[in-house]
Amino acid sequence: MGKAKQGTDIAFQGSGPSNDDPKSNQYDGDLNDDLHKALSGDFNFTGTYYHKSVESDAPNPGLTIDGLGLMGSPLSERDVASIVSFSAPAPTTTGRKRPAPKIVEIDPAKVSFANPAWQPFVQKMVTQKVWKSLGLAPFTTMPKCELYKVLLYQKGAKVRPEKVKAKVDDMFATVMIILPSTFEGGQVHISHPDSTAVLDISNESTSNTSVLAWYTDVIQEVKPLTAGCRLTLSYNLIHTSPDTPQPSLPVTPEGPLKFFRDTLQRWKDGRYPSRSLPISGLFAVMLEHTYAHSELVPGLTNLKGRDAFLISKLLPIATEMGFVFCVSSLDRKVTGKGVFYGDYRDNKRLRSGLCAYDDDFDISEYFDEYSDSEDEAEITFIEEDRMSISNVIRVTDNRPVNLKISDCCLYSDALVPRSAFDDLTPDVKDPDKMFGRVEHRYNRSALIVYKHEDEVSILMSISGPHSALQSLPLTKTPNAHTRAGIDKIVSRGVQYSSAVAVDVLAHALLWKDHEIWNRTIPYVDTVDVVQTAIVKAKKVFGLEAILPGLTACLERRGTLEDRLALTNNISTHSPQGMSTPWVQNMINDALVSYSSALAVDVPILLQLALDSKDSLASLATIVIPRTASNHDSYDFHIALAEALEAKKQQMAHVPTNVCQHQTDTLSSLVRQCLLAAGSQWSGEPPPSSLNYVSFSCKPTPSPTVLGERINHLVKLCFSTDNPEVCVEIGKNVGPDRQMDLLAAIETQTGIIVPECVQELMASVLSAYSTPAVSHAPTLSWIAEVLGAEHIETLISTKIPKSGTYEFLFSLAKALQERRSVLLQNWNVIEERTTAFQNAVRHCADLFVSQWEVDFKDRPSSYDYFDRIDNTRPNARVRRILQIVDFSFVLRNCTPCAFLFQDLLHAELSTDVAKRFEEVHTPLVHFLKVTLAKYKTGVLFEPFKSFFKGTICLYLGHILGATPSAPLPAIPATIGCSCRNCERLRTFLDDTSPVLDIQAVKNERAHVQNLIDAAGISRAITYTTTREGNPHTLRITKRPEAIAGFEWKVARNKAIKFIRGIAGDDETLKKLMEERYEDVMKTLSGAKFVVRQLGINGLSASVEIRTPTPVPSSSVATVAGEKRKRSPTITE
Average pLDDT over residues 17-43: 73
> Nearest Cα to 436, choosing from 507, 340, 355, 370?
340
Reply yes or no on whether the pLDDT at 296 is more than 50.
Answer: yes
- The CA distance from 841 to 847, in Å, is 10
Picking from 432, 463, 494, the residue at the C-terminal end of a domain is: 463
The packing angle between helices 547-555 and 560-571, to 10°, is 160
| Range from 509-523, 739-753, 786-800, 906-920 carrying the lowest mean pLDDT | 906-920
Name the residue with higher pLDDT: 861 or 774.
Answer: 774
Reply yes or no on whether the pLDDT at 1131 is more than 50.
Answer: no
Work out the pLDDT band at 1068, boundaries 50, 70, 90: very high
Reply yes or no on whether the pLDDT at 491 is more than 90.
Answer: no
Q: What is the CA radius of gyration of the chain?
A: 54
Q: Which residues pair with 336 in a beta bridge?
A: 382, 438
Picking from 647, 680, 713, the residue at the C-terminal end of a domain is: 680
> Using the 8-state DSSP alphabet, how is residue 961 labeled?
P
Q: Please tell me whether residues 117 and 229 are part of one structural domain.
A: yes
**Helix or strand (DSSP H, E) at 1035:** strand 1032-1037
Task: Answer whether the bond into residue 942 is a cis peptide, omega within 30°.
Answer: yes
Residue 255's pLDDT is 66
Kindly state the percentage of the chain with pLDDT values over 90.
Answer: 31
325 belongs to a structural domain:
yes
Q: How many helices (H) and strands (E) does the chain have?
A: 42, 29
| pTM score of the predicted model | 0.51
- SS3 annotation, 512-562: CCHHHHHHHHHHCCCHHHHHHHHHHHHHHHCCHHHHHHHHHHHHCCCCHHH
Work out the pLDDT band at 865, boundaries 50, 70, 90: very low
Residue 12's pLDDT is 33
423 belongs to a structural domain:
yes
> Using the 8-state DSSP alphabet, how is residue 625 labeled?
H
28 belongs to a structural domain:
no
Supply the CATH number for residue 182's domain: 2.60.120
Q: Cα-flanking dihedrals φ and ψ of residue 62, to 5°?
A: 70, 45
**pLDDT, mean over the chain:** 81
Contacts of residue 331, defined as CB under 8 A and 6 or more positions apart, other chains included, come to 387, 388, 389, 390, 441, 442, 443, 444
- The CA distance from 1125 to 1129, in Å, is 13
Residue 286's pLDDT is 94
887 belongs to a structural domain:
no
- The CA distance from 18 to 550, in Å, is 58
947-970: pLDDT as tens digits: 999 999 999 888 876 666 556 667
Q: Please tell me whether residues 285 and 220 are part of one structural domain.
A: no
Strand stretches in 714-782, DSSP E: none
911 belongs to a structural domain:
no
Task: Answer whether the bond into residue 1030 is a cis peptide, omega within 30°.
Answer: yes
| Range from 126-140, 228-242, 251-265, 386-400 carrying the lowest mean pLDDT | 251-265
> Using the 8-state DSSP alphabet, how is residue 600 labeled?
G
Tell me the pairing of strands 144-153 and 103-106: antiparallel
Instruction: Say whether 172 sits in a helix, a strand or coil.
Output: strand
Average pLDDT over residues 787-798: 92
Q: Cα-flanking dihedrals φ and ψ of residue 173, to 5°?
A: -155, 160
Cα separation values, 829 from 323, 677, 793, 821, Å: 101, 41, 20, 13
Whether 9 and 389 have beta carbons less than 8 Å apart is answered as no
251-277: pLDDT as tens digits: 555 567 788 889 999 999 999 998 888
- Which range, 99-113, 360-374, 739-753, is most confident? 739-753
Reply yes or no on whether the pLDDT at 1094 is more than 60.
Answer: yes
Cα separation values, 1003 from 170, 177, 1037, Å: 138, 126, 20
Kindly state the percentage of the chain with pLDDT values over 70.
Answer: 82
Q: Please tell me whether residues 123 and 205 are part of one structural domain.
A: yes
Residue 928's pLDDT is 93
Reply yes or no on whether the pLDDT at 432 is more than 70.
Answer: yes
Neighbour-count burial of 632, counting CB atoms closer than 10 A to its CB (0-12 exposed, 13-18 middle, 19+ buried): middle
Q: Please tell me whether residues 222 and 190 are part of one structural domain.
A: yes
Reply yes or no on whether the pLDDT at 349 is more than 50.
Answer: no
Reply yes or no on whether the pLDDT at 496 is more than 60.
Answer: yes
Q: Please tell me whether residues 308 and 440 are part of one structural domain.
A: yes
- List the 219-222 sheet strands across, edge first: 159-163, 219-222, 188-192, 195-199
- The CA distance from 352 to 518, in Å, is 79
Whether 1123 and 1085 have beta carbons less than 8 Å apart is answered as yes
DSSP calls for 747-762: TT--SSPPHHHHHHHH
831-859: pLDDT as tens digits: 888 999 999 999 999 999 998 887 765 55
Tell whether the torsion through CA atoms of 351, 353, 359 and 363 is positive or negative.
Answer: positive
Residue 96's pLDDT is 55
Q: Which domain holds residue 736?
A: 701-766
Reply yes or no on whether the pLDDT at 689 is more than 50.
Answer: no
Neighbour-count burial of 554, counting CB atoms closer than 10 A to its CB (0-12 exposed, 13-18 middle, 19+ buried): buried
Instruction: Say whether 440 sits in a helix, a strand or coil.
Output: strand
Q: Please tell me whether residues 62 and 170 are part of one structural domain.
A: yes
Whether 1038 and 1052 have beta carbons less than 8 Å apart is answered as no
- The CA distance from 660 to 165, in Å, is 100
**Helix or strand (DSSP H, E) at 997:** strand 994-998
Q: Please tell me whether residues 955 and 1053 are part of one structural domain.
A: yes
Number of domains composing the chain: 5
Q: Which residues pair with 338 in a beta bridge?
A: 379
Average pLDDT over residues 535-553: 85
Residue 907's pLDDT is 63
DSSP calls for 6-67: TT-----TTSS---EETTTTEE-S-HHHHHHHHHT---S--S-SEEEEEETTPPP--EEETT
Q: Which amino acid is at 153?
A: Y
First to last CA, the chain: 112
1064 belongs to a structural domain:
yes
Q: Cα-flanking dihedrals φ and ψ of residue 676, to 5°?
A: -65, -40
Whether 811 and 776 have beta carbons less than 8 Å apart is answered as yes
Residue 856's pLDDT is 60
Tell me the pairing of strands 69-70 and 88-89: unpaired
Tell whether the torsion through CA atoms of 1039, 1043, 1044 and 1048 is positive or negative.
Answer: positive
- Burial of 242-256, coded b for 16+ CB within 10 Å and e otherwise, reads eeeeebeebebeebb
- The CA distance from 850 to 129, in Å, is 107
Q: Please tell me whether residues 964 and 1081 are part of one structural domain.
A: yes
Whether 1090 and 953 have beta carbons less than 8 Å apart is answered as yes
Work out the pLDDT band at 350, boundaries 50, 70, 90: very low
Name the residue with higher pLDDT: 1111 or 281.
Answer: 281
Q: Which amino acid is at 754?
A: P
Whether 329 and 293 have beta carbons less than 8 Å apart is answered as yes
Instruction: Say whether 161 sits in a helix, a strand or coil.
Output: strand
Cα separation values, 1100 from 172, 854, 1082, Å: 137, 26, 28
676 dihedral zone (left: phi>0; alpha: psi -120 to 50; beta): alpha
Reply yes or no on whether the pLDDT at 486 is more than 50.
Answer: yes
Residue 550's pLDDT is 83
Whether 130 and 175 have beta carbons less than 8 Å apart is answered as yes
Average pLDDT over residues 420-427: 91
Residue 692's pLDDT is 39
744-755: pLDDT as tens digits: 999 998 888 999
Q: Please tell me whether residues 675 and 750 are part of one structural domain.
A: no
Name the residue with higher pLDDT: 859 or 333.
Answer: 333
575-594: pLDDT as tens digits: 766 666 777 777 777 777 77
Q: Please tell me whether residues 270 and 313 are part of one structural domain.
A: yes
> Nearest Cα to 377, choosing from 342, 336, 349, 415?
336
| Range from 128-137, 246-255, 429-438, 849-858 carrying the lowest mean pLDDT | 246-255
470 belongs to a structural domain:
no
**Helix or strand (DSSP H, E) at 212:** strand 209-215
691-721: pLDDT as tens digits: 434 434 445 677 788 888 889 999 999 999 9
- Burial of 959-968, coded b for 16+ CB within 10 Å and e otherwise, reads bbbbbebbbb
Cα 894-898-903 angle, rounded to 5 deg: 145
CA 64 to chain centre: 75
Q: Please tell me whether residues 331 and 444 are part of one structural domain.
A: yes
> Nearest Cα to 616, choosing from 566, 560, 657, 673?
673
Reply yes or no on whether the pLDDT at 976 is more than 80.
Answer: yes
Reply yes or no on whether the pLDDT at 344 is more than 50.
Answer: no
**Helix or strand (DSSP H, E) at 790:** helix 788-797
> Using the 8-state DSSP alphabet, how is residue 474 labeled?
-
- The CA distance from 984 to 838, in Å, is 64
Instruction: Say whether 338 sits in a helix, a strand or coil.
Output: strand
536 belongs to a structural domain:
no
Q: Please tell me whether residues 705 and 675 are part of one structural domain.
A: no
Picking from 618, 651, 680, the residue at the C-terminal end of a domain is: 680
